[in-house]
């Protein structure tokens, strides 16, 4: 059953059309990601749901109620911004309790909720600290505690990890998913990082130029991109413009030093020279120069199989791994 619904949302700033008739349906308890490049409209859509932006046309529904014109304070939605927005002169406890005090909640209930929230974000014992005494990751967890303590219906996160290092970012991703599941929240997450979206989401709405380019599970978008833009944004497809648009994922390509003695009609064969090597942990990405273009190949690192710059290599991939689009499709990629 639909819990949140955006119905043909349009929004412009001056003469710039930011949202162009966006329609989205979200089920209760889902973890949804609005994914896309900067300027695609994802944050504007999130702020429209929170009541921080007034839409030009269209309707927004929450739990069956039209909230399009409802004031932000009456929507029962919590939002975490890119900036933590903590009060620097307040302790951790007072920062978390601030919203509850504004609602004139009983002191005993405030104490109970703040304590529970601190335990959930692994900050028990930090009640008396000030934001300046906390690391960036700890400040982000205080912001998360402040958001969940109000027991809002919906949690919105606007690129909350943008100022945090990679290792801590992954830890916070896990923590947010744990809290989402434990509290049964409906969560909408905004990011431009496709790997982050893949790790965290039940479903992804990939936005482009104010519209939804494709929606689906992380693997649906990764394995079955409907347009060249989706292929270019999800998973670093190799994209080519020939008689038609076609794409192949780097990990779907097999590479070796010697040519294949026997060839299968269902496979495509190429050869070229390695011109770039980029280690990515246990995966190494090789850029191979073919006659008229370059192609990226992802290879699992093996000690006994090594490739070097300017090595001549032979490539093979199956025809059924290729994604194709008609020339009528716009080859507009963020890559």
Tens digit of each residue's pLDDT (9 = 90 or more) over 209-258: 999 999 999 999 999 999 999 998 998 899 988 778 899 999 999 999 99
Stated as kind and residue range, the H or E segment containing 218 is helix 218-223
Three-state DSSP state, 245? strand
Structure tokens at 130: 């000030």
User: What pLDDT, on the 0 to 100 scale, is given for residue 330?
Assistant: 56
Percent of the chain as helix, strand, coil, to the nearest 5: 30, 35, 35
Rounded distance between C-alpha atoms, residue 85 and residue 100, angstroms? 17
Residue carrying structure tokens 């001549």: 312
User: What pLDDT, on the 0 to 100 scale, is given for residue 160?
Assistant: 85
Rounded distance between C-alpha atoms, residue 7 and residue 251, angstroms? 38
User: What pLDDT, on the 0 to 100 scale, is given for residue 167?
Assistant: 81
User: What pLDDT, on the 0 to 100 scale, is given for residue 66?
Assistant: 97
Q: What is the pTM of this model?
A: 0.87
DSSP-derived letter for residue 330 is: -
Read out DSSP for 92-121? HHHHHHHHHHHTT--HHHHHHHHHHHHHHT
The residue ranges of the chain whose pLDDT is under 50 are: 333-335
């Amino acid at each position: 059953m639909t819990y949140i619904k955006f119905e043909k949302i349009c929004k412009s700033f001056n003469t710039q059309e930011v949202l162009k008739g966006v329609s989205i349906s979200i089920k209760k308890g889902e973890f949804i990601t609005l994914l896309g490049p900067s300027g695609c409209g994802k944050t504007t859509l999130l702020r429209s749901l929170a009541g921080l932006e007034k839409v030009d046309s269209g309707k927004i529904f929450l739990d069956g109620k039209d909230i399009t014109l409802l004031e932000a304070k009456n929507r029962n939605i919590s939002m975490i911004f890119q900036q933590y927005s903590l009060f620097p002169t307040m302790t951790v406890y007072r920062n978390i309790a601030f919203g509850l005090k504004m609602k004139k909640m009983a002191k005993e209930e405030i104490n109970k909720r703040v304590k529970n929230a601190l335990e959930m974000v692994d900050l028990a014992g930090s009640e008396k600290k000030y934001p300046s005494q906390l690391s960036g990751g700890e400040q982000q967890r205080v912001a998360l505690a402040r958001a969940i303590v109000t027991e809002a219906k919906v949690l919105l996160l606007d690129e909350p990890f943008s100022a945090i290092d990679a290792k801590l970012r992954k830890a916070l991703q896990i923590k947010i998913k744990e809290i989402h599941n434990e509290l049964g929240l409906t969560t909408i997450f905004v990011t431009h990082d496709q790997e982050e979206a893949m790790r965290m989401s039940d479903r992804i709405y990939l936005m482009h130029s104010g519209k939804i380019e494709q929606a689906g599970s992380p693997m649906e978008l990764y394995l079955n991109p409907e347009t060249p833009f989706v292929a270019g944004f999800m998973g670093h497809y190799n994209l080519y413009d020939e008689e038609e648009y076609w794409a192949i994922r780097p990990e779907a390509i097999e590479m070796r030093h010697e040519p294949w003695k026997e060839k299968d009609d269902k496979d495509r064969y190429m050869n070229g020279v390695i011109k770039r090597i980029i280690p990515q942990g246990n995966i190494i990405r090789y850029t191979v120069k073919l006659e008229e273009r370059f192609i990226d190949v992802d290879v699992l690192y093996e000690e006994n199989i090594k490739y070097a710059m300017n090595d001549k290599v032979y490539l093979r991939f199956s025809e059924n791994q290729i994604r194709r689009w008609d020339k009528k499709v716009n080859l507009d990629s963020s890559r």
